[in-house]
Amino acid sequence: MDRVSSSMKQVGNPLPKVLGRRAAGGGLEAERESFERAQTVSINKAINTQEVAVKEKHARTCILGTHHEKGAQTFWSVVNRLPLSGNAVLCWKFCHVFHKLLRDGHSNVLKDSVRYKNELSDMSRMWGHLSEGYGQLCSIYLKLLRTKMEFHTKNPRFPGNLQMSDRQLDEAGESDVNNFFQLTVEMFDYLECELNLFQTVFSSLDMSRSVSVTAAGQCRLAPLIQVILDCSHLYDYTVKLLFKLHSCLPADTLQGHRDRFLEQFRKLKDLFYRSSNLQYFKRLIQIPQLPENPPNFLRASALSEHISPVVVIPAEASSPDSEPITDLVEMETASQSLFDNKFDDIFGSSLSSDPFNFNSQNGMNKDDKDRLIEQLYGEIRTLKEELESFKAENERRTLQLCGRISELEAELAEQRHLKQQALDESEFLRTELEELKKQREDTEKAQRSLTEIERRAQANEQRYSKLKEKYSELVQNHADLLRKVTVARQAQGDVEREKKELEDSFQRVSEQAQRKVGAEQSTRIADLEQERDSLSRAAERYGEEIAALQAELQQLQDTLSSEKESSKKELETLQTQLQDKESMEQTLQQRLAKEQFALLQGSAREAERMVQDALSRLEDPAHISCTGSADYLLSRTLAASECTERLQDAHRKYLSNHTDVSSLLPCVALFAHLISDTILQGSATSHMAPMEPADRLLEMCKQCGSEAMSYLSSLQDLDSVGGADCAAVTSCLGRISAIGEELRPRGLDVEQEELGDLVDKEMAATSAAIETAAARIEEMLSKARAGDTGVKLEVNERILGSCTGLMQAIQVLVLASKDLQREIVESGRGAASPKEFYAKNSRWTEGLISASKAVGWGATVMVDAADLVVQGKGKFEELMVCSHEIAASTAQLVAASKVKADKDSANLAKLQQASRGVNQATAGVVASTKSGKSQIEEKDSMDFSSMTLTQIKRQEMDSQVRVLELENQLQKERQKLGELRKKHYELAGVAEGWEEDATD
């Protein structure tokens, strides 16, 4: 618009007054809008998602913009709209451009950027969580930029590019040793951040390949130019400050400074040396080399030996994309010429054919001018409509992203809720476990007390037995005494009867004596009297003995009665204690039975909840997308059936002894888990089954869940626990197994005796295919050298050379796989033959066969793709995909080979080493293909210099149509790729028996 107003001043017949008023009133505003638009374009071109280095001309335009507006408001207004937290490459290139602005931009860039320091810190922490790609690089670079801003904020005397004289360096410390000491520490921290970025970039690159000539490598290496510039100045100032500090402070005080300087000196020397050997830096910057030994700060004269490192940037390298700009002060002229060129690029005009150059068009009439103005207005309206459409599209995408963010936040909240539920459930289970432990301790205490009572009762029983024996002995003694008394009484009766007989006989004798003669009678009488006296004495003696015996008998009777009384009382006491012990034991048994049943109730209740949750998940929309195989369903059903049998045995044991529930509780928990798993797997299997079997399977799963819940609910009731029966559950599981058998795929099985021969044939075929592919590559390389020249020959040689290296690596891997396979067979077959070993391990053998076929097929396809690429008829992408497919196939072969191998096997180590070689060769093929593609594309660069505005507009519309078509095709192809991978996984799982292996 400025050119239009300046042209109007040169002619006597100006444009209509409306245009004149717009030009006069909005000149500054239009200039500001034009400046912001140009800055926005340059910033967006400099900071984009393409993994290439930032172009110098775009970065220089951003720097000139800060000098033009004396700040960085426009830069931050554009950057704040970029998704720096969503794309690591975009954030990396932002850090590069922002580093350039801090160094070479206006001095107010630092003031305008300090307010965003916290946002940079948050972004650095966010990217620090990524351990691969640009994540760690962005995190460390953002920390460096924050450190740089803090350093220049604390030390405003230091410019952004750190270029200072010795006098300015002394003034920065204000001639205070404390300030110099603190300044040295801050420089050490600053230099440490620079070195961390240096080392991280180099560690992220594969230095075994020429990464500096690739676009991705240059994207990572480009910011190191600014780091090298900063490090050279920081190293120089640190050396000078340390010499100054050693002249003022004792050497022991500065020991920490010297140690830190020596560490940074070694790192910086090594990094400068490694950088100077890279091809990328050789044409852009001359990197200085540090001295062989660090400065000796303990010797003051060593300062004169110090040489400041100088970084030289060649003039042609400083502006490889545009002409050099010598003076930043002439910002107005430069920006004006930039906007004029932008105007010419839009409307396709030049100085010689400018429609607003009225010096060469004095003959133009007023109608032509009005028509031209109307044409310009029409184009402005068209541009406004396009701008509105762009804004609408931006708002639509913003809404989509906001919706996606909301979905992710909802998903995150759900995950947090599930995590909290899991924690609550874990806490609940922990509480229940503690309660069970307490109940178990109480039960053990009760059992110990019961044991003590039994021991006391046994002791009382022994005491009672002793008393009973003593009582029996007393009864026997009493009986003996009674027998003695009876004998004594019989003896007394005999004595009395003899006495009476003697008296009768005496009377008869007396009567006879009266008739006899004198002496005989008196003698006979005397003898009889003597005999009577002796009998009387004997009778008295017997009387005394009887009295003594009666007294002893009375005494024994009294003792016996007292013993009877005490024994009776003690027996009553023991009987009372025994009754109390029996009642306590019965109470403890009842309490233990109740506690055991309470445990059973809790376990059955939780098991019922688990089964109910599985049934409710059948109706969950998220579960509809889950699928499963019939083989895995059969394995789950078999496990559930076995668990049901164990549960029945444990239930019968519990019914025989209600105080022992230890065997029933684990079976209940496992029963609920396996039944729930069977229900979910049955539902997942029905999603891939035909309609009629799927409906029967789903209905049977629901019926199985209902029967299981009925059985578990009967276990919770004390009245119905005896009649609980899980026969219905067993029946449902049998029906589910029958349906699963119907749904099992019927593949073509190789006879087991043919597996051994088939493995050898496939491995031999794979080796032959690889050798054939290598021979074809050599033949193609010879043809390329004979028929191609220049860039094409270089690209073809690089691609075919990397393909040859890949084939050699695959040959080494196949040989290592054969050796390991032979070792596995020899160590595992025992007395059996190799064929019997292969037949016994048929799943492993089929995996080897499948992996060998995949490797041979991939090698053949890659050779065909390389042939087409060399001939110019193929696609580079196809070759890269083939190389990745070969890497995946070899990884499958390695995994299949190492399944049964010993982890300490030497052949296994060789196989793993060969696998790493294949991966490196694959990376070489991809890198050479990408490099060749970029070289071919650079060679075939587009030239639009001869096209008119209408042609460019037509080409732009065609390109937009083509972009939409390709995006639609890309979306469809991605969906197709996803379906193909899903189907391949399903077929591979059926063929290889993955599900059975996982079940085992």
User: Residue by residue, what is the 3-state secondary structure of 573-622?
Assistant: HHHHHHHHHHHHHHHHHHHHHHHHHHHHHHHHHHHHHHHHHHHHHCCCHH
Average pLDDT over residues 6-35: 51
Q: 3-state class of 972 per DSSP? A: helix
Residue 92 has pLDDT above 90, yes or no: yes
Average pLDDT over residues 499-510: 72
Cα–Cα distance for residue pair 807/855, rounded to 1 Å: 11
Specify the pLDDT at position 328. Answer: 35
Residue 697 has pLDDT above 80, yes or no: yes
Q: Return the minimum-mean-pLDDT range out of 236-245, 406-415, 986-995.
A: 986-995
Average pLDDT over residues 587-594: 79
Residue 243 has pLDDT above 70, yes or no: yes
Residue 644 has pLDDT above 60, yes or no: yes
Range ranked top by mean pLDDT from 101-105, 561-565, 668-672:
101-105
Specify the pLDDT at position 363. Answer: 44
pLDDT band at 27 (very low <50, low <70, confident <90, very high): low
Cα–Cα distance for residue pair 814/856, rounded to 1 Å: 10
More confident site: 745 or 740:
740
Share above pLDDT 90 across residues of the chain, in percent, rounded to a whole number: 9
Average pLDDT over residues 595-621: 83
Specify the pLDDT at position 6. Answer: 38
More confident site: 818 or 732:
732
pLDDT band at 804 (very low <50, low <70, confident <90, very high): confident
Residue whose C-alpha is closest to residue 158's, from 147, 170, 148, 172:
172
Q: Return the minimum-mean-pLDDT range out of 510-514, 580-584, 791-795.
A: 510-514
- What mean pLDDT, rounded, does the chain reach? 77
pLDDT band at 512 (very low <50, low <70, confident <90, very high): low
Residue 640 has pLDDT above 80, yes or no: yes
Specify the pLDDT at position 150. Answer: 92
More confident site: 141 or 807:
141
Specify the pLDDT at position 370. Answer: 81
Specify the pLDDT at position 351. Answer: 39
Specify the pLDDT at position 234. Answer: 92
Helix axes 630-656, 664-686, angle to 10 degrees: 160
Q: Return the minimum-mean-pLDDT range out of 383-392, 637-646, 757-766.
A: 757-766
**pTM of structure:** 0.36
More confident site: 910 or 856:
910
- Counting every residue, how long is the chain? 1000
Residue 917 has pLDDT above 80, yes or no: yes
Average pLDDT over residues 969-978: 85
pLDDT band at 751 (very low <50, low <70, confident <90, very high): very low
More confident site: 394 or 27:
394
More confident site: 827 or 318:
827
Q: Return the minimum-mean-pLDDT range out of 639-643, 660-664, 824-828, 925-929.
A: 824-828
pLDDT band at 614 (very low <50, low <70, confident <90, very high): confident
Residue 582 has pLDDT above 60, yes or no: yes
pLDDT band at 359 (very low <50, low <70, confident <90, very high): very low
Residue 590 has pLDDT above 70, yes or no: yes
pLDDT band at 816 (very low <50, low <70, confident <90, very high): confident
Q: Give residue-wise pLDDT tens across range 184-200.
A: 999 999 999 999 998 88
Average pLDDT over residues 495-516: 70
Average pLDDT over residues 599-607: 83
Cα–Cα distance for residue pair 733/641, rounded to 1 Å: 7
Q: What's CA 254's distance to the chain center, in Å?
A: 47
Residue 798 has pLDDT above 60, yes or no: yes
Specify the pLDDT at position 95. Answer: 93
Specify the pLDDT at position 229. Answer: 92
Specify the pLDDT at position 14. Answer: 35
pLDDT band at 522 (very low <50, low <70, confident <90, very high): low
Residue 559 has pLDDT above 90, yes or no: no
Asked if residue 134 lies in contact with residue 93, where contact means CB atoms within 8 angstroms, the answer is no
Q: What is the DSSP string of 13-66?
A: SPPPHHHHHHHHHSHHHHHHHHHHHHHHHHHHHHS-SSSSPPPHHHHHHHHHHH
Q: Return the minimum-mean-pLDDT range out of 154-168, 577-591, 860-874.
A: 860-874
Average pLDDT over residues 889-905: 75
Q: What's CA 823's distance to the chain center, in Å?
A: 35
Distance of CA 606 to CAs 546, 572, 598, 884, Å? 88, 51, 12, 49
Asked if residue 896 lies in contact with residue 848, where contact means CB atoms within 8 angstroms, the answer is yes
User: Which residue bears the tokens 């005989």?
Assistant: 520
More confident site: 465 or 260:
260
Residue 341 has pLDDT above 70, yes or no: no
pLDDT band at 231 (very low <50, low <70, confident <90, very high): very high
Residue 18 has pLDDT above 70, yes or no: no
Q: Return the minimum-mean-pLDDT range out of 88-92, 311-315, 638-642, 646-650.
A: 311-315
Cα–Cα distance for residue pair 735/995, rounded to 1 Å: 21
Average pLDDT over residues 737-746: 76
Average pLDDT over residues 230-239: 92
More confident site: 393 or 982:
393
Cα–Cα distance for residue pair 617/678, rounded to 1 Å: 13
pLDDT band at 897 (very low <50, low <70, confident <90, very high): confident
Asked if residue 898 lies in contact with residue 820, where contact means CB atoms within 8 angstroms, the answer is yes
Residue 516 has pLDDT above 70, yes or no: no
Distance of CA 395 to CAs 398, 399, 805, Å? 5, 6, 50
Helix axes 56-69, 331-347, angle to 10 degrees: 120
Sign for the CA dihedral angle at 239, 240, 242, 247 comes to positive
Range ranked top by mean pLDDT from 636-640, 842-846, 861-865:
636-640
Sign for the CA dihedral angle at 319, 323, 328, 334 comes to negative
Residue 842 has pLDDT above 50, yes or no: yes
Specify the pLDDT at position 149. Answer: 92
Residue 88 has pLDDT above 50, yes or no: yes
Asked if residue 519 lies in contact with residue 482, where contact means CB atoms within 8 angstroms, the answer is no
pLDDT band at 792 (very low <50, low <70, confident <90, very high): low
Enclosing H/E stretch for 810 = helix 790-828
pLDDT band at 586 (very low <50, low <70, confident <90, very high): confident
Q: Give residue-wise pLDDT tens across range 35-66.
A: 888 989 999 999 998 989 899 898 999 999 99
Cα–Cα distance for residue pair 340/31, rounded to 1 Å: 11
Average pLDDT over residues 908-913: 81
Q: Return the minimum-mean-pLDDT range out of 331-335, 468-472, 725-729.
A: 331-335
Average pLDDT over residues 178-184: 89
Specify the pLDDT at position 459. Answer: 77
Cα–Cα distance for residue pair 995/975, rounded to 1 Å: 26
Distance of CA 584 to CAs 439, 467, 576, Å? 18, 26, 12
pLDDT band at 25 (very low <50, low <70, confident <90, very high): very low
Average pLDDT over residues 671-699: 84
Q: Give residue-wise pLDDT tens across range 952-973.
A: 777 778 788 888 888 888 888 8
More confident site: 7 or 850:
850
Helix axes 842-870, 876-897, angle to 10 degrees: 160
Specify the pLDDT at position 159. Answer: 92
Enclosing H/E stretch for 889 = helix 876-897
Cα–Cα distance for residue pair 458/564, rounded to 1 Å: 22
Q: Which two tokens stand for residue 2?
A: 């400025």
Residue 443 has pLDDT above 60, yes or no: yes
Specify the pLDDT at position 752. Answer: 47
